[in-house]
């Protein structure tokens, strides 16, 4: 089974301060740590497990600049066989349809039975590139997948709905699945893996090599323009309880007493 996994190199922001650049259109990248998008890590793990069980290859692919190689190397170190990066400054990464179109052009040149993507990326949070890619390739898909069972020529998936409800679908292969966190436990990178990854090439592809018209991609890119990034307006800013732990705990207890909770 040949599997393609779409990955993205993203800043880790869950515990970092995210500042906006002076033009208000981007984030200040200095001081931020970048890594593989969390959802994609689960997608890669799922792919590696399927390959370990059934054989085949795992190819990771990304759209982005040279800095994305760090994430591709990590994927290779975890056991991916091949890595591909599509790079062109005209690709607007904020337009999920353009990213999906470019990925579709590249993946249609590869051999694949299954494509896995993260259910969303932690930076833009669109959750759209995977299923849009399936749309461009004309293959069936399922999103927010929490369980994958391969059958001959098809795949049974369990996908998340809301409030703990899930549904089971049967999908013909080749198919694209967007993977939800928690589906498995992603492996760590081994020293041996890192060594192996250093020897493996990363293939880069341009729009020309993909047979895409740069002017069309530019035009489509311009559909979506981020005008401004800003901190969410604060509806209610928490009153900060200060002091040492002892004092803080006493104040919390007082608040709870005054509310009749204690």
Partner 1 sequence: MSEIAVLVEHRLGEIRDITFEMLAKANQLAEKSGYRTTAIMIGKGVEDLAGKLKGYCDRLLLVEDESMKFFVSDAYQKVLEDIVRERRPRLLLIGHTSYGLELAPSLAASLNIPLITGCTDITLDEGVEVVRPVYGGKLLARVEVNYPGTVILTLSQGVVKPFNPGKETEIIRKSVDVGEPGSKVFLEYVMPEESEVDISSADVIVAVGRGIQDKSNIPQAEELAKALGGVLACSRPIVDKGWLPQDRQVGSSGKTVKPKLYLALGISGAFQHIQGMKDSQLIIAVNKDPNAPIFNVAHYGVVEDLFRIVPVLIEKVREARGGG
Least Cβ distance, residue 259 to partner 1 (angstroms) = 6
If one asks whether residue 231 binds partner 1 (CB under 8 A), the answer comes out as yes
> Binding of partner 1 at residue 241 (CB under 8 A)?
yes
The span from the CA of 238 to the CA of 253, in Å, is: 17
Tokens 């349809």 locate to 97
Angstrom CA distances, 74 to 8, 80, 97, 199, stand at: 12, 9, 26, 13
Does 132 participate in binding partner 1 (rule CB under 8 A)? yes
124 is an interface residue for partner 1 by CB under 8 A: yes
Task: State yes or no: residue 126 binds partner 1 (CB under 8 A).
Answer: yes
CB of 54 to partner 1, least distance (A): 21
Which residue among 37, 59, 62, 95 contacts partner 1 (CB under 8 A)?
95
We find the least distance from the C-beta atom of residue 81 to partner 1, in angstroms, to be 27
* Residue located via tokens 């779409």: 6
Residue 97 Cβ vs partner 1, minimum distance, rounded to whole Å: 6
Q: Which of 109, 111, 195, 256 binds partner 1 (CB under 8 A)?
A: 256
In the window 29-68, what residues touch partner 1 (CB under 8 A)? none
User: For the purposes of burial, counting CB atoms within 10 Å of the CB of 47, is it exposed (0-12), middle (13-18) or buried (19 or more)?
Assistant: buried
Distance CA(140)–CA(103), nearest Å, equals 16
Q: Is 13 in the site for partner 1 (CB under 8 A)?
A: yes
> Among 1, 93, 94, 194, which residue sits at the site for partner 1 (rule: CB under 8 A)?
94
Tokens describing residue 155: 């795949």
For residue 182, the SS3 value is: coil
Integer CA distances (angstroms), 28 to 18, 32, 51, 125, 229, in order: 7, 8, 38, 18, 11
Among the residue ranges 6-14, 66-74, 108-116, 191-199, the one whose residues contact partner 1 (CB under 8 A):
6-14
Region for 125 from its dihedrals, namely left if φ exceeds 0, alpha if ψ lies in -120 to 50, beta otherwise: left
- Considering the complex, state which of residue 136 and residue 203 has its C-beta at the smaller distance from partner 1: 136
Q: Counting contacts by CB under 8 A, is residue 261 touching partner 1?
A: yes
Cβ at position 231, least distance to partner 1 in Å: 6
Contact characters 155-194, partner 1, x per CB under 8 A? -x-xxxxxxxxxxxxxxx--x-----xx--x---------
CB count within 10 Å of CB 80 equals 26
Nearby residues of 142 by Cβ (< 8 Å), 6 or more positions away: 157, 159, 169, 171, 175, 176, 177, 178
Chain residues 102-121 in contact with partner 1, contact rule CB under 8 A = 119
Among 92, 123, 177, 210, binds partner 1 (CB under 8 A): 123
18 binds partner 1 (CB under 8 A): yes
């Amino acid at each position: 089974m040949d599997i393609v996994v779409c990955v993205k190199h993203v800043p880790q922001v869950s515990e970092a301060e995210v500042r906006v650049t002076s033009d208000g259109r981007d984030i200040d990248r200095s001081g931020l740590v970048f890594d593989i998008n969390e959802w994609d890590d689960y997608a890669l793990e799922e792919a590696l497990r399927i390959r370990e069980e059934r054989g085949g290859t795992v190819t990771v692919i990304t759209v982005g600049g040279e800095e994305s190689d760090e994430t591709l190397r990590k994927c290779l170190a975890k056991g991916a066989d091949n890595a591909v990066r599509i790079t062109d400054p005209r690709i607007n990464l904020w337009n999920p349809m353009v990213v999906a179109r470019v990925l579709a052009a590249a993946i249609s040149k590869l051999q694949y039975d299954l494509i896995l993507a993260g259910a969303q990326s932690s930076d833009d949070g669109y959750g759209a590139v995977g299923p849009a890619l399936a749309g461009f390739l004309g293959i069936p898909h399922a999103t927010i997948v929490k369980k994958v069972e391969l059958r001959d020529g098809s795949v049974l998936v369990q996908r998340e709905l809301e409030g703990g409800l899930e549904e089971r679908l049967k999908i013909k292969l080749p198919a694209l699945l967007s993977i939800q966190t928690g589906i498995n436990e992603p492996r760590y990178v081994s020293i041996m893996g890192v060594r192996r990854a250093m020897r493996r090439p990363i293939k880069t592809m341009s729009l020309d090599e993909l047979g895409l018209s740069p002017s069309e991609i530019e035009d489509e890119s311009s559909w979506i323009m981020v005008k401004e990034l800003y901190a969410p307006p604060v509806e209610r800013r928490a009153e900060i309880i200060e002091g040492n732990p002892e004092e803080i705990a006493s104040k919390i207890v007082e608040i709870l007493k005054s509310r009749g909770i204690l």
